[in-house]
Structures are given as structure tokens and as C-alpha cells.
A = this chain, B = another copy of it.
């Protein structure tokens, strides 16, 4: 059985396991105060081209989104997101649980658009009743999006300008950031992200780590952010587990190398899908590919390959997702070719 189910089906990149084992018995202080965390922070700052960035390590993506959004918005503010945004749909209401509404704007294959964002914000402040409404206090985007799509540098810049005009922070969910950065489908670099966003996270869970997301505040972190993290139940006692993983991922560009591998595998996967004449539901330049399958064919394939249901296309067809990752092997793609 081969699996393209998602990008977190395997453990960690072996180098991470090796370094966890190597450092295992060293006594270290907890909560992110150990030297591995410090080294990882330093390397991340350098990779972001942002010497003064504050960096924190959290365990998972939903958690990170909820903590960052709660810490950066005022009580009466909500967060603007695409209607398909992960926080709007698939996080079990973790943001609302903290008291903040997710304010949705229509997305275009997962992306929001600077002009539409400006119109939304203008419309809000022009509405005579806006004091009875939830203030837009932050903008949330993801890169890649839920649809595997990417912003261009120009698009990201436009959104950022709107946010700065309205003095609200821009936050980028980078659960799959590596795959976005290594795709040829965008000119956005990590330092662009750091330049245009007020907060973002570099996803580890989906890019080679056992768990862990590195939150980066290019400017200043919210005051007493560590306490907010603790209050949300998100502070890991053995911070070393996160520090060592990110230290490893940002040593010798491992994060970028394994991301590039996933993109290369995705390119090969696209070739296979194209050759087999499976229509793409939409164009994705990253590690997730979405195709429309005949339901009978889908059921047959499921006996030998794991992949994900996305949504029904019509009565007899389904949009399905195949994902590559740092751990995908070329042989697996060849095997898929044979099975299709």
C-alpha cells in the first residue's frame, strides 16, 4: 500500500531523530530556555533576514493560529480570512473558542485579494452600524493555501499595504511554508514573508518534524507572549523537542532541501496524473494535487493507494487530493503510474 494521504503520514526526517537521540540524556531546562531553542531561533532569524525577530516554538498548527490570533487582537476584534481558510472551517472553532470571530471574505482558490480586502475594510468603517459589529483586527492568510495555491510577491505586498493602511497586523499561516517557498509558482521568499507580515509561522509538522511550528514576529512579539502560550495550554515542558528539531531543519538548509524534494515529487506526480488524463480540479504549484476522478475508478484505486477525499464534483465524480512530502519516494510515484 502506498500513501499520498497527506504530508504528515511519516515520522521525522532521520537527521532529526539522530540529533534527538544524540542529545537525549543532556539535562536541559524547560519551556524553550535551552540552548537548542536559542540556536534554532538564531538560525531562523538569519534565514528570515530579520535579526531582531522574536521566535517561539509551538506544537501544532491549530494551536498556533489560536494563540497568535488571540494574543494579537483586542477583545472586540475578529480576524479576517478567506471563507475557505483553515481557521474558518477545519479548526473546530478554536479561534471562536478564544472569543474572536472569524470574519470571512470570498477567497479565490483559497487566496484573498488586496483590493477586495480594502473594499471590505472600507465598507466596514463606512457602515454606520459598525460599532455594533466585530472590528476587523487582523488579517489571516495561508501560503500555500488550503488549495495548494500561492501568492505572488506583488499580491502579498498589496495585502500587506492594506493592512498597514488600516493598522492591523497581517498573519501568515505557514503550515506548508517550505513547500510554498520551494515552488516555482511564486517569487515569494522567506525574507519577503518576514517583510510583509507582522507574524507568521514556519510549519514543522508537515515539513519533516515530528511536531512543531516556529512562530516568527519580525518586529516585537505580543507582551508576555510566553504566558499567553501557557494560558492556552500550548507551552511544551520539554522545549528541547522543538528546539532540536528546528535547529536541525535550519542547519545546512535541510528545511529547504526536503521541501524542494517534495515539490520535485509533486512535479512528477502531476506528470503522471496528466498522462493518465485525470483532469485537475484547479492548478496547484505545490505539494498537494487535486484531480477529479470517476467514483468507480476511485474506489478501485483505494484498494492499493491511500489518498484523500476532498469534495464531491458531481454525482459520479469526486475531487481527490494526492499529497507529496519530504518523505515521498520516486518509486511510489512510479507505482502510482502503474496502478492508475
Give me the interface of A with B, judged by CB distance under 8 Å.
Answer: 1-3, 5-6, 8-12, 14, 17, 20-21, 23-30, 59-67, 70-71, 74-76, 78, 89-94, 96-102, 128-129, 131-135, 205-206, 210-211, 223-224, 226-228, 230-238, 240-241, 306, 309, 327
Contacts of A205 in B (CB 8 A): 237-238
Contacts of A26 in B (CB 8 A): 10-11
Give which listed residue, B61, B131, B228, B231, contacts A237 with CB less than 8 A. B61
Give which listed residue, B10, B228, B233, contacts A66 with CB less than 8 A. B233
Complex contact B24–A21 (CB within 8 A): no
Q: Secondary structure of the A side of the interface?
A: loop
Name the residue on B nearest A332 (C-beta): B27
Q: A211-B236, A235-B62, A241-B211 are in contact. Are A76 and B228 (CB under 8 A)?
A: yes
Complex contact B230–A233 (CB within 8 A): no
Give which listed residue, B6, B17, B237, contacts A24 with CB less than 8 A. B17
Complex contact A75–B228 (CB within 8 A): yes
Q: A28-B9, A92-B76, A227-B132 are in contact. Are A97 and B232 (CB under 8 A)?
A: yes
CA distance A46 to B282 in the complex (A): 49
CA distance A231 to B77 in the complex (A): 10
Give which listed residue, B14, B62, B233, contacts A67 with CB less than 8 A. B233
By CB atoms of chain B within 10 A, which of A30, A70, A76 has the most?
Answer: A76
